[in-house]
Amino acid sequence: MTDPRLELTRIPLIKKILASRWLQWSLVAVTLPFFVLAIFTGLFGTPAGSRNFGIVFVWIVWWGLLMLVLVPFAGRFWCAVCPIPAPGEWLQRRSLVATRENGKLFTLGWKWPRRLNNIWLQSAAFLIVALFAKVILTTPFVSAVTLLILAGIAMATSLLFERRTFCRYICPVGGFIGLYSQVAPVEVRVKDHALCATHHDKTCYSGNEKGYGCPWLVFPATLDTNTYCGLCTECLKTCSLDNVALYARPFGKDLLTTQGRRLDEAYRSLMMLACAPLYTIIFLGPWAEIKEAAYAIGSTGWWLYAFGLLALTLAVVPGIFCVCSALSKFIARAKTSTRKFFVGYATALLPLGLAAWASFSLSFVLVNLSYAWQVLSDPFGWGWNLFGTANWKWTPYLSGWQGYLQIPILLIGLVAAIAVAFRIAREQRVSPRTALPIVLFCVAFTVVIVGLNF
């Protein structure tokens, strides 16, 4: 069977760019000023979120870019250019661009506890952010403090633990970016696994004069999904056998296998799925009482909202999916555990979840994007008009077309989810009809999302 992938590193220019030690620094040097501006505007700018760069550029522009462009088309590219862990990493390396001669990092180098060697902590961090999302996403000061806390944790983690432990195990955003990056049509992979087996130095993991060992604590030879590859391209630089390449590939290639799937990842994909309609409700829907409850932290309404969010994400949606998985197992009359069905079939939820989030993000971004022109000219809300756009009126874009754009996205996600579910059934050597409860679950979820949006 021919390889459907296209090795992009065969193009000399791309290879040269990826091999350059300036690459990651240059990209972070572009995102860092935006991050710094977001912090300063959040701390010192107007408390009116819609007129504050920190809110508009982080939670509308960045979020829209992330969910509509970067994750679906470039996987974890954002992780490679994210400014939050950059200062910690620079400090750890005591270098911004070059490699250290002895390769020793400025860190206590603690190992991350084995029990936390999963994404449960990231999921918990995401839920904490979700509980306070209405305030974090609308209140500039709180948003800036949240970003500073994340940067502080990233810095402390870099000094205490090895490599990019923060990105791999703590970052609240990293978990879902990793899961959904499996859909993306790019990957960094070794070209020939046999060659890796004969390579004694394993410079891709240990580093050499050309680069650092994988900051994401991944041994590239074992990499078979995008989940934990930060696209930092260090392994492309350090592989002395030139055995690592960047590939363009068909969308969702990682979803075709359930090998190595874990319960923490399955649960996370369900949590993300449950959060998509919740975010639609508290940010877009007409339900003023729920929105107010989500904002009024500490009030009875907020406690009810928090209970509802936790119940839905941790119990109700995973519970329904567990019942569907048990039904699948029952139809298959399989002797394998329900857990195996649960974990395996959760892979099918990734394209659906990504589509739901893209659909939400599209609506959110189209409604609010016009604020971006205002804050570009007046980032602090101090009455500036740098580019003459400060007084442009708020205008929701394509307001009559949002439905026509959202429905195809959701349908693509649903069709992909159904296709993956049947594929998983085949992989598990059971009748395709055993996937029907999962298909029904996906259809029902899509109906809910459509119902909330229209």
**C-beta of 51 vs 329, nearer to another protein:** 51
88 binds another protein (CB under 8 A): no
303 binds another protein (CB under 8 A): no
**C-beta of 140 vs 220, nearer to another protein:** 140
Least distance to another protein, CB of residue 379, Å: 8
Least distance to another protein, CB of residue 18, Å: 18
Least distance to another protein, CB of residue 33, Å: 5
**C-beta of 37 vs 424, nearer to another protein:** 37
**C-beta of 5 vs 210, nearer to another protein:** 210
Task: Choose, by CB under 8 A, the member of 17, 96, 153, 297 that binds another protein.
Answer: 96
**C-beta of 162 vs 378, nearer to another protein:** 378
With contacts defined by CB under 8 A, name the span among 27-35, 213-221, 231-239, 424-432 that binds another protein.
Answer: 27-35
How far is Cα of residue 87 from the mean position of the Cα atoms in its chain?
A: 21
25 binds another protein (CB under 8 A): yes
With contacts defined by CB under 8 A, name the span among 22-30, 280-288, 306-314, 317-325 that binds another protein.
Answer: 22-30
3-state helix, strand and coil shares in percent for the chain, rounded to the nearest 5: 65, 5, 30
Least distance to another protein, CB of residue 388, Å: 15
Gap between the Cα atoms of 137 and 131, Å rounded: 11
**C-beta of 105 vs 306, nearer to another protein:** 105
Q: What dihedral do alpha carbons 295, 311, 355, 216 form, nearest 10°?
A: 90
**C-beta of 234 vs 378, nearer to another protein:** 378
User: In 10 A of CB 351, how many CB atoms?
Assistant: 26
Gap between the Cα atoms of 374 and 384, Å rounded: 10
Q: Which of residues 374-413 bind another protein (CB under 8 A)?
A: 378-384, 391
Task: Choose, by CB under 8 A, the member of 90, 120, 251, 422 that binds another protein.
Answer: 90
Gap between the Cα atoms of 224 and 123, Å rounded: 22
**C-beta of 384 vs 401, nearer to another protein:** 384
Gap between the Cα atoms of 214 and 69, Å rounded: 25
Gap between the Cα atoms of 303 and 149, Å rounded: 24
Residue bearing tokens 């049509």:
185
Task: Choose, by CB under 8 A, the member of 9, 38, 52, 423 that binds another protein.
Answer: 52
Task: Choose, by CB under 8 A, the member of 4, 10, 16, 48 that binds another protein.
Answer: 48
Q: Which residues pair with 212 in a beta bridge?
A: 207
Q: Quote the crossing angle between the two packed helices 338-345 and 317-332, to the nearest 10°.
A: 120
Burial 16-29 (b: 16+ CB within 10 A, else e): eebeebebbbebbe
Least distance to another protein, CB of residue 96, Å: 4
Gap between the Cα atoms of 186 and 172, Å rounded: 23
Residue 392's alpha-carbon distances to 51, 57, 174, 374, 375, in angstroms, are 11, 16, 35, 6, 10
Residue 318's alpha-carbon distances to 333, 416, 433, in angstroms, are 22, 20, 21
Residue 36's alpha-carbon distances to 33, 50, 222, 223, in angstroms, are 5, 18, 37, 34
Q: How many residues bind another protein (CB under 8 A)?
A: 27
Q: Give the residue from 353, 393, 1 showing the smallest Cα distance to 183.
A: 353
Least distance to another protein, CB of residue 106, Å: 15
Annotate each residue in 98-127 with x if it binds another protein (CB under 8 A) or - if it does not, as one string.
x-----------------------------
Site for another protein, rule CB under 8 A:
22, 25, 29, 32-33, 36-37, 40, 46-48, 50-52, 90, 95-98, 378-384, 391
